A and B are shown apart, each in its own frame.
Chain A
């Protein structure tokens, strides 16, 4: 493995100043599960690694009006956060299926975003949750919606000398549910063929059902047996990973649903629209036509799961695994 120096700044200012000083010779390192692997694979050749591990304040989760996640928060910490599981379920769904326990103990959410792999598991949930990211350099600081952050596979708007210092997620509207599905070939430790995240806000969280068994029925059945009880979509965000060169929002599909009465037919139409909007490609992990077909299946399924989580919040606890 290439030899490098390893610097451990104790403050953000010190890290920014080192980054400035070493320029192209330096590489920031968070958990290192991508950086060290890329050095071993001879894809990166830094002379100096600047570690963000020792900087206080970058590894915290705070919820005060909005959710603030430090870039050094590990996927394991997200997976274990009851607050995130309850209010921002899509993010839990994604943290829970990323890599292995060993990887999740070390790999950070900031690293997952900055590496900007089209397959980044947390990207689609963050888009669906309406996240913003804060970018800081020695002179400037700006906060941008995460949609604007990714510019291509492995490419972001992050400039030399900038560090991603915070991920901000607005408090969801009342009666909101969110969900993420990672389509993968294996039960664990795989990259997604596709990632689908949906956030849905309804105008109410309780419905009257014509069928007494309704509470135990699948949500699709519940939608059919609403007794003159209409449920409207107040807000929706649909985000897709591995469906285009960057993680993307399916805005046409969202516009079709926003403000409308929820029905099985409409959700089907929304899912079809999302599949048309996507620009998936053929790759080792899956062909474009398959990805498109599965977007249609999974967008509807994730919308259903959102509705389920709103109407039956106690059941948000189980991210389903395919064993």
Chain B
């Protein structure tokens, strides 16, 4: 069970790293690469705190085998700003609407919102609810989150 070389693109940058084959994508992101924006909640693929984009689609990184991202493109919350420290319009809307309480679900929630808006630029409220169903907010501030995503979609 020796280490294997894993090559992928992380937030637009090529990455090559030696990893143990049993690691999840979340472990590689947080523990090896120190990209700690991605959170671990339940660790069982239920809560969505660990959501990242894989080739633009959301996945729960806590149950995703790291070796399966070989050759693919991963986007974490760190990759959402424009490089000059300017926040993404979804992040701005979250701040404006107070869609953040404790903040733990926020990175995953923002990425689910991004995947939703990339696919459907003008979602209805029901489509927004359906799109973020896999992201639990235990502060239960869902209303503001839905309003923020709606606002971001209108820009």
Contacts and interface: CB of A to CB of B under 8 A. Distances in A.
B75 interface: no
A53 B58 CA distance: 17
Interface string B62-94: 011101101000000000000000000000000
Interface string B110-136: 001001100000000010011101110
A5 B133 contact: no
A321 to B, nearest CB: 7
Given A4-B21, A76-B57, A100-B48, A106 B64 contact: yes
7 contacts: A1-B22, A37-B63, A51-B65, A101-B131, A102-B134, A103-B134, A105-B54
A3 interface: yes
B43 A40 contact: yes
Contacts of B22: 1-6
Contact of A29 (B1, B65, B70): B65
A187 interface: yes
B63 A40 contact: yes
Given A4-B1, A51-B67, 19 more contacts: A1-B22, A5-B1, A5-B21, A6-B4, A6-B22, A32-B63, A32-B65, A32-B68, A33-B45, A33-B60, A37-B44, A37-B63, A100-B134, A101-B130, A102-B134, A106-B60, A188-B130, A321-B130, A323-B126
Interface in A1-35: 1-6, 8, 29, 32-33
A49 interface: yes
A17 to B, nearest CB: 19
A188 B112 CA distance: 15
Interface of A: 1-6, 8, 29, 32-33, 36-37, 40-41, 49, 51, 53, 76, 99-103, 105-106, 187-189, 321, 323
A102 B58 contact: yes
A100 B105 CA distance: 15
Contacts of A29: 65
- Which 4 residue pairs across A and B have the least CB separation, nearest first? A100-B134, A188-B133, A6-B21, A36-B63
B72 to A, nearest CB: 11
Contacts of A53: 68
Q: Is the interface of A mostly helix, strand, loop or mixed?
A: loop
Interface string B50-63: 01001001111001
B24 interface: yes
B96 interface: no
B115 A189 contact: no
B115 A101 contact: yes
Contacts of B58: 101-102, 105
A316 to B, nearest CB: 18
B147 to A, nearest CB: 16
A36 B59 CA distance: 14
B133 A100 contact: yes
B126 A321 contact: yes
A51 B45 contact: no
B89 to A, nearest CB: 20
A121 to B, nearest CB: 15
B22 to A, nearest CB: 5
Nearest to A4: B22
Given A189-B133, A321-B126, A33 B63 contact: yes
B85 to A, nearest CB: 28
B51 to A, nearest CB: 6
Interface centre among A8, A37, A101, A323 (most CB of B within 10 A): A101
Nearest to B2: A5
B44 A105 contact: no
Nearest to A47: B1
Contacts of A5: 1, 21-22
A94 B67 CA distance: 30
Nearest to B54: A105
A189 B46 contact: yes
Interface string B96-114: 0000000000000000100
A3 B20 contact: yes
